[in-house]
Structure 1
């Protein structure tokens, strides 16, 4: 037991050192962690909804009117309360990673203003998201508030990925690695994917799995909104295929072509899940898997956009080189 405690203490010290005495390598790692935890809480939020646990903690910021933690409640099943409370606790993990990114960006030498600005978005965004979550509960899961809740998470993922991408680069002006029209196509694809996310939350707010029997629904025709969502899927697939084709015929850098191919594969897999869940009557497990897929599509789209341009290579410091040697060994 003592050995385990000593090892845990040592790992905690090393983890703290990566924050308080940062290098460019640790900046990248924590920024990537921010992408992962923001994606994770997005998926866990969907799990809350599909398990009808949206009002498992019927008040906010307390879980119940008299307690911040789950206690026996006549109107709520213990499992639903545990799921919702668990999702709330994940917020503290996301906040911890966000604060770590901010501290690292401010202590990194030489300090880079762009990284500091991007890092500030993380804790501020998490705080705003937590407050908005309170509005979601107090509005009894109104579909508008639930939809915005998801889209805020998508914005935080984008900001975290931007922090990750910029932490790998220098501060020179961006330089295109592909033809100007191909980069424009990438921007159009990004906008269309975000429109697809919006259409997705409208479908979610119209269909089943509201999160609780007290929740209201959008008063749209479900077939119509699904059709719009499906049409946008085909547009996204067409734009992605066009982007992949263009990068190959223009002999774009290999990492750009690989990023576009990865995006297309993830989109096809996501489309397959979407069709299966539709024909099976929208089972809860597949809905959560579909949310995971939409999050991965968004991340892969951001990866493509950032891959199509470059800046001067980041000048590695001695500490960075030492850490890279440690990673290799």
Structure 2
């Protein structure tokens, strides 16, 4: 391989790695914004889709709407549509950020094309992320047409987590050979602990979606005036979710302990595991704030986003520790690294 071709290839690889990392961060920001939309009750801030009150740029005051706008847009909402510029623009900005995220994922797909010959899974998984994003956009329209059906809203959020996992796989694969991964003694024990941690954390997220659905019902029944009684009316799913957090904390403390005991050198996995434990602690703190401070709106999206970040980091740690067995075409990757 000539020096010029090698330089071009290295530049393409570097561009892809940076773009994949930026895309993952932006997807997490989109999950955070989606949480803000839900916690502020802005999900129907735009009662139609893809436009907002029939316009590509939503109004800022009610005088910009037809006098009978409630009749026009409130039919499917049982006449309860009420223009609120703050909620309208929160939802509209969520849609714009979603479109921007889609552009970034498409850019990641384009940047993955050079990998088609040397490491096809990177291209195929980038394509999968793009197709899933298109489906996610369609599902977003169903969220509006279904009048914020709890099942559709939850499915919308879970699909976002799937997209994150696909992008994390692509990103981790592209970084193999570019970051220092520790040599681990007793890897079978670490892997078993990690798998239990990932599985039970996903279960905790799923229970959390049930709590969120129960919260939606309580909010409708009690209204904002009864906010201090929201938590006590959530039912058994909330108490399971709250108590289960102790198990999740124990699993992460155990993971950090095992890694500190069995790793031979300090590297990216140690840093990720320490950061992961800190995120879990902060997430539990936000859960306590939600439970005992009458569910402040600012804590809800933070709690949700930290949960998805934690599960994603667990997945990356597992991928990096098992790179040679998880990722295929390692011969080509190792040959490339030797030429750099």
Give the TM-score of the pair, scaled to structure 1: 0.80
> What residue number does 1:70 align with?
58
* CA distance in structure 2 between the aligned counterparts of 1:32 and 1:46, rounded to whole angstroms: 22
* CA distance in structure 2 between the aligned counterparts of 1:211 and 1:87, rounded to whole angstroms: 22
Give the TM-score of the pair, scaled to structure 2: 0.77
The gaps in structure 1 that reach 5 residues or longer are 1-18, 322-329
1:191 aligns to 2:199 (yes or no): yes
Stretches of 4+ aligned residues off by more than 6 angstroms: 209-213
* CA distance in structure 2 between the aligned counterparts of 1:194 and 1:96, rounded to whole angstroms: 28
* CA distance in structure 2 between the aligned counterparts of 1:212 and 1:44, rounded to whole angstroms: 22
How far apart are 1:132 and its partner, in Å? Answer: 0.6
Query: Structure 1 residues 269, 25: closer, same or farther in 2, change over 3 A?
Result: same
> What residue number does 1:49 align with?
38
Q: Provide the secondary structure at the position in 1 that maps to 2:257.
A: helix
Which residue of 232, 243, 247 corresponds with 2:244?
Answer: 232
* CA distance in structure 1 between the aligned counterparts of 2:262 and 2:9, rounded to whole angstroms: 45
The gaps in structure 2 that reach 5 residues or longer are 1-7, 70-81, 224-231, 325-329
Deviations 1:129-155 (A, max 9, x none): 111111111111111111111111111
* CA distance in structure 1 between the aligned counterparts of 2:29 and 2:172, rounded to whole angstroms: 19
1:30 aligns to 2:37 (yes or no): no
> What residue number does 2:309 align with?
296
1:270 aligns to 2:296 (yes or no): no
> What residue number does 2:75 align with?
none
Query: Structure 1 residues 107, 317: closer, same or farther in 2, change over 3 A?
Result: farther
Q: Radius of gyration: which is bigger?
A: 2
| Contact 1:98/1:123 (<8 A) preserved | yes
* CA distance in structure 2 between the aligned counterparts of 1:212 and 1:233, rounded to whole angstroms: 27
> What residue number does 2:111 align with?
104
**Which sits farther off after the overlay, 237-246 or 88-97?**
237-246
* CA distance in structure 1 between the aligned counterparts of 2:258 and 2:252, rounded to whole angstroms: 10
CA RMSD of aligned residues (A): 3.0
Which residue of 288, 299, 308 corresponds with 1:286?
Answer: 299
Deviations 1:11-70 (A, max 9, x none): xxxxxxxx9995211111111011111101111011111122100111122222x33331
1:88 aligns to 2:63 (yes or no): no
Which residue of 238, 259, 263 corresponds with 2:272?
Answer: 259
Query: Structure 1 residues 29, 298: closer, same or farther in 2, change over 3 A?
Result: same
